[in-house]
Chain A
Amino acid sequence: MTIETSSFTVASQPSGLRIFFRNRASAVGTAVLILLVLLAVLGPVLSPYDPLSIGVGETMAPPSLTHIFGTDELGRDIFSRASLGVGVSLFVGFVAAAMSSTIAILIGCISGYFGAFVDDVLMRMTEIFQVIPRFFLAILLVAFFGASIVNIVIAIGLLSWPESARVIRAEVMSLKNRQYVSSARIAGASTASIIFGEILPNALGPVIVNATLQVGQAMLLEAGLSYLGLGDPNRISLGLMLHQSQEIMRTAWWATALPGSLIFFAVLAANLVGDGLNDLFNPRARAR
């Protein structure tokens, strides 16, 4: 059908990758993210120590050949813990971002496509979630319902969708009257397949950008919750490590240095990738 050519997604055009990597910062960001994912996957295999084990070394031992990033106040190996922590933090970041994007896509699409009453109701709801101070609500949710990693992810995911939903809604509203959509409708495609098959792929760009940025945001939010004592003690995240080792920051600088800089690089990388993607989906940047 003729629809195919016109519904071609922006990202799949051959120039996409080139545009993305033309921005050296986002290329570096991608590389860093890949490295961190590798660390999260391989780290626990490579690291010689059990991250939960107390006293695998002296307490607060500075970096050395046996403990390349030193040990913490309980004599646990910081590198082993951090490589586990990267995984947990990335998990929080990606799952929370995926969750909020899914909600945003559902609400944005439905709202934008159906308009009228449905739109009104959904947009009022979005407004409410935009107005509520989200970090407070996240603290409240986690404080009240327990500091488990699942609760933390849910709290962050549930609270960060409104912006993306609005963006999607606007895109859908402008796309739904395009000709290829009308033709699909006339061809008898179901509403769901029109929304998700025809409209969504073309509206996805900004959502992907937002989602990437939210990965970093979610990791920071989790760290913030940990700082307030609301981290999950059974899942060592970088935020939790950073919070716990803050106590010994003055005596053992290495204890905060690794988790702190890993969060920094992870969030920075996610942000750089997000920026690169943003340029990619921004028509003017593409024109250059």
Chain B
Amino acid sequence: MVEATSKANGGDAVATDVAAAGKARAKRGIRFRYARYVARRLLQAVPIIVVIVLINFTLIQAAPGDPVYALIGQMETTPEYIAQVREEFGLDEPLPQQFLSYIAKIATFDLGYSFRFRQDVSGLIFERVPATFLLMGTALVISSLLGIGLGVIAGRRPFGWTDNAATIFALAGFSMPVFWLGQLVLLVFALKLPWFPVQGMVSLRAPSHGWGYIASVLHHLVLPATVYGIYHLTLIFRMTRIKMMDVLVQDFITTARSKGAGERRVLFVHALPNAILPVITVIGYNFGFMLAGSVLVETVFGWPGLGRLMYEAINARDYPLLLGLFVVISLFVIIANVLTDIIYALIDPRILYR
């Protein structure tokens, strides 16, 4: 408690400091604050990642199932061969040694060598990043547009029929198992109405380049991104609705209304910008949630992203790949959180001094 107060005081002191300084200096100061803030957050990430590696390493070691079994395929083999593969991958070393050599490796940004694919883990992961980000990014755009739009409509007249309808619509997507929704969508929009391709990221039968390639990828993107977007719309909708409810009863809205601003103007120019901040936070903080949830959508639509890779790594007990994925994804999540904070801070600079 005492600490909290002193922190707050410190924050105030710095704030007045900045306010007292000249404009240019303040700008530089703020930039410096940003840099220091980002650096601090990224430094904080280091112990987090070490602990995540430790947790997963322990889990993996405690788990039954040997990576060797996932490697051999369908035919029988001999004990000698199993011993040979264990030795090749260093699985015969004592555990603490395996852990330490792993930590030493990631300190030099070397994520190790995948058993399953016999390839560098970092290469494997970064090959998949664009596909996942493309899918997630598109889904985010869809869910943000729909979610915010519905949220504004719902928050305008809480408990009215528009609110109820929007709520049920927004929650409906969130309430269906995403793999089932995916299958239904495929049945309708890829088979009965052959508008979209069933799976994959690009049409392979007719290879395309340049604009044709982009068009093909976009064509393949529509269904998975929509399904994924609909699933994630709810969180954004919910936050927008509540914040709109909060904002719309405040004085400045009444003022704006009394000055004769049109309803649309009140909603989108006066109210929404004030409600949007927590919505951005929701989007940012759900990055990790979305990333992990992608495995289902990627499986249904045969999308070659990180989610599939993670699932395969688990099935193959590919420890280096698994740990590498946890490290990289955790880093992504941390970066997404920091970015969210920065966006927040751009609008509300007090956060920097916390």
Q: What is the interface of chain A, defined by CB distance below 8 A to chain B?
A: 22-25, 115-116, 124, 127-128, 130-137, 139-141, 143-145, 173, 176-177, 216, 220, 223-224, 227-228, 239, 242, 246, 249-250, 256, 260, 263-265, 267-268, 271-272, 275, 278-279, 282, 284-285, 287-288
Q: Which residue of B lies closest to A278 (CB)?
A: B242
Determine whether B249 belongs to the interface, using a CB cutoff of 8 Å to chain A. Answer: yes
B308 to chain A, nearest CB (A): 11
Determine whether B238 belongs to the interface, using a CB cutoff of 8 Å to chain A. Answer: yes
Is the CB–CB distance between B158 and A288 below 8 Å? yes
Q: Which residue of B lies closest to A224 (CB)?
A: B296
CA gap between A71 and B109 in the complex, in Å: 55
Q: List 20 A-B contacts (CB under 8 A).
A: A25-B167, A131-B334, A132-B288, A133-B310, A133-B333, A135-B289, A135-B295, A136-B325, A140-B56, A144-B62, A173-B4, A176-B1, A216-B174, A227-B179, A246-B179, A267-B175, A279-B159, A284-B246, A285-B245, A288-B159
Residues of B within 8 A of A128 (CB): 48, 51-52, 55
CA gap between A149 and B91 in the complex, in Å: 31
CA gap between A275 and B167 in the complex, in Å: 9
Determine whether B122 belongs to the interface, using a CB cutoff of 8 Å to chain A. Answer: no
B227 to chain A, nearest CB (A): 14
Q: What is the interface of chain B, defined by CB distance below 8 A to chain A?
A: 1, 3-4, 47-48, 51-52, 55-56, 59-60, 62-65, 158-159, 164, 167-168, 171-172, 174-180, 183, 187, 234, 238, 242, 245-246, 249, 285, 288-289, 291-293, 295-296, 299, 310-311, 314-315, 322, 325-326, 329-330, 333-334, 337
- A220-B178, A271-B234 given. 18 additional CB < 8 A pairs? A22-B159, A128-B55, A132-B330, A140-B322, A141-B59, A145-B63, A224-B179, A227-B179, A249-B183, A249-B187, A250-B187, A260-B176, A263-B177, A268-B168, A268-B171, A271-B171, A285-B158, A285-B245
Is the CB–CB distance between A24 and B164 below 8 Å? yes
Is the CB–CB distance between A133 and B326 below 8 Å? yes
CA gap between A216 and B158 in the complex, in Å: 23
Residues of A within 8 A of B249 (CB): 284, 287
Residues of B within 8 A of A239 (CB): 177
Q: Which residue of B lies closest to A141 (CB)?
A: B59
Residues of B within 8 A of A116 (CB): 3
Partner of A144, one of B64, B179, B292: B64
Residues of A within 8 A of B51 (CB): 128
Residues of A within 8 A of B60 (CB): 140, 144
CA gap between A242 and B181 in the complex, in Å: 12
Closest 4 CB pairs of A and B: A144-B63, A133-B292, A135-B292, A267-B175
CA gap between A268 and B325 in the complex, in Å: 33
B228 to chain A, nearest CB (A): 13
Residues of B within 8 A of A134 (CB): 288-289, 292
Residues of A within 8 A of B64 (CB): 144
Q: Which residue of A lies closest to B294 (CB)?
A: A135
Residues of A within 8 A of B314 (CB): 136, 139-140, 143
Partner of A279, one of B158, B311, B337: B158
Residues of A within 8 A of B65 (CB): 144
Q: Which residue of B lies closest to A139 (CB)?
A: B314
Q: A130-B288, A136-B292 are in contact. Are A216 and B326 (CB under 8 A)?
A: no
Partner of A268, one of B172, B293, B311: B172
A114 to chain B, nearest CB (A): 9
Q: Which residue of B lies closest to A146 (CB)?
A: B64
CA gap between A249 and B51 in the complex, in Å: 43
Is the CB–CB distance between B293 and A135 below 8 Å? yes
Q: A144-B64, A227-B177, A260-B180 are in contact. Are A132 and B159 (CB under 8 A)?
A: no
A195 to chain B, nearest CB (A): 14
Residues of A within 8 A of B289 (CB): 133-135
Is the CB–CB distance between A115 and B3 below 8 Å? yes
Q: Which residue of A lies closest to B176 (CB)?
A: A264
Residues of B within 8 A of A265 (CB): 175
Q: Which residue of B lies closest to A159 (CB)?
A: B292
Q: A116-B3, A136-B329, A141-B59 are in contact. Are A242 and B180 (CB under 8 A)?
A: yes
Residues of B within 8 A of A133 (CB): 288-289, 291-292, 310, 326, 329-330, 333
Residues of B within 8 A of A177 (CB): 1
CA gap between A249 and B288 in the complex, in Å: 32
Residues of A within 8 A of B296 (CB): 224, 227-228
CA gap between A128 and B55 in the complex, in Å: 10
CA gap between A249 and B63 in the complex, in Å: 34
Q: Which of A127, A177, A278 has the most CB of B within 10 A?
A: A127
B70 to chain A, nearest CB (A): 12
B310 to chain A, nearest CB (A): 5
